[in-house]
Amino acid sequence: MPVPQRMADPDRFAADTAPFRRELLAHCYRMVGSAQDAEDLVQETYLRAWRGYPNFEGRASVRSWLYRIATNVCLTALRPARVRVLPSGLSGPVDGLAGATNHTAPHDVSWLEPFPDSWAAPGPDDPADTVITRESLRLALIASLQHLPARQRAILLLREVLDFSAAETAAILGTTTAAVKSGLQRARARLRELEPAPTRLLDPDHPRARALLGAYIAAFEHSDVELLEQVLRTDATLEATPFPDWRAGRENCLHLLRTQVLHIPGAWRLTPTAANGQPAAVLYHRDANAFHAAGIVLLTATPTGISRVCAFHDPDLVAAFDFPASPPAPTA
């Protein structure tokens, strides 16, 4: 005669698991490179956790148990080996003075997406933990992580971002501590190849970062290319999904913006926000007499100016960032 399954207590389940939802969302995003996919994966994580909760015996912490479920959900989702990239991950830059942008991306490309700062885990009493959370969501790091094999990616995140021990990581992944240590070593080496000299970045609430974002917004809304020249570094890069071509060098970036983006004054309106621990803005574009959601632009702000502009032309991202489909009327 089968043994009846114990019923889970929904109130206790919520009390035990709800505090980890935000950090699990960030973890799934780091694994798969898509904020919208990460939401779905967290939903699947909690569904599996609910089903298994009656048999949870507390041999590991609830947090470790949830991360085991979430990580394996992500690994299953990544089995087709689809890599999310930015345009700069496809090929080298094109000469910005050479002509029009190539609007045709390979059909099998999946684009990296930005992650709203409002989705990240709220800062605890220790400010250092907030810094770690922001740094682990930087766009350049997320782009680099996508080029690691999925299990190496998981090992690196569990060990170096989430601070699980080698033994805990091995238990989460169902492997050995020796395999964890080996995988971590290879993952570190690969990341050093992808980004050998990380640049010091400014947090979005830093006064200099706010000033750079404000100037970028003003320049974009007024088609002021001279102001853009002041805020972009000479080595700045510019890329925008879903377009495969990208530009390197301030002169090339400005040429593209002047000839293809900012040639109609007043065509854009931007609203400040933050994403991936970096200053960002919601993009609205005017069609006839009305503005409509266009996407998100994310800036890499450094003490010497903006080193990278990455625009994500996808109206659905505006709703994901919890902004309206049309911008509010400007204040007098």
Contact yes or no for 325/292 (Cβ under 8 A): yes
pTM across the whole model: 0.91
CA distances from 158 to 136, 152, 162, 196, 321 (A): 12, 10, 5, 22, 26
The CB-side HSE value for 311 (13 A sphere, CA atoms) comes to 22
pLDDT of residue 228: 96
One-letter amino acid of 119? W
Instruction: Taking the CA atoms of 175, 178, 181 and 185 in sequence, report the sign of the dihedral they define.
Output: negative
pLDDT of residue 105: 62
pLDDT of residue 3: 40
Contact yes or no for 134/166 (Cβ under 8 A): no
pLDDT of residue 271: 96
Query: How deeply is 211 buried, as exposed, middle or buried, from its count of CB atoms within 10 A (0-12, 13-18, 19+)?
Result: middle
**Whole-angstrom distance, CA of residue 317 vs CA of residue 273:** 12
| Lookup: tokens for 105 | 């991306």
Q: Kindly give the confidence (pLDDT) of every residue in the chain, 332 residues in length, as a single tens digit, with 9 standing for 90 and above.
A: 444 455 668 889 999 999 999 999 999 999 999 999 999 999 999 999 999 998 887 788 999 999 999 999 999 999 876 789 999 999 899 976 655 555 566 667 899 999 999 998 665 555 556 666 788 999 999 999 999 999 999 999 999 999 999 999 999 999 999 999 999 999 999 998 887 666 789 999 999 999 999 999 999 999 999 999 999 999 999 999 999 999 999 999 999 999 999 988 889 999 999 999 999 999 999 988 899 999 999 999 999 999 999 999 999 999 999 999 998 776 54
CB proximity list for 315: less than 8 A, separation 6 or greater: 292, 293, 294, 295, 325
DSSP structure string for 256-303: HIIIIISSSTT-EEEEEEEETTEEEEEEEEEETTEEEEEEEEEEEEET
Class in CATH terms, 1-82? mainly alpha
Contact yes or no for 152/186 (Cβ under 8 A): yes
| E-assigned strand segments in 43-182 | 84-85, 110-111
Question: Would you call 123 helix, strand, or coil by DSSP?
Answer: coil
Class in CATH terms, 83-138+201-332? alpha beta
Inter-axis angle of helices 10-17 and 35-52, nearest 10: 130
| Lookup: tokens for 183 | 């995988």
State phi, psi for 46 to the nearest 5 degrees.
-70, -30
DSSP state of 20: G
What ranges do the domains of the chain cover? 1-82, 83-138+201-332
**Whole-angstrom distance, CA of residue 308 vs CA of residue 280:** 12
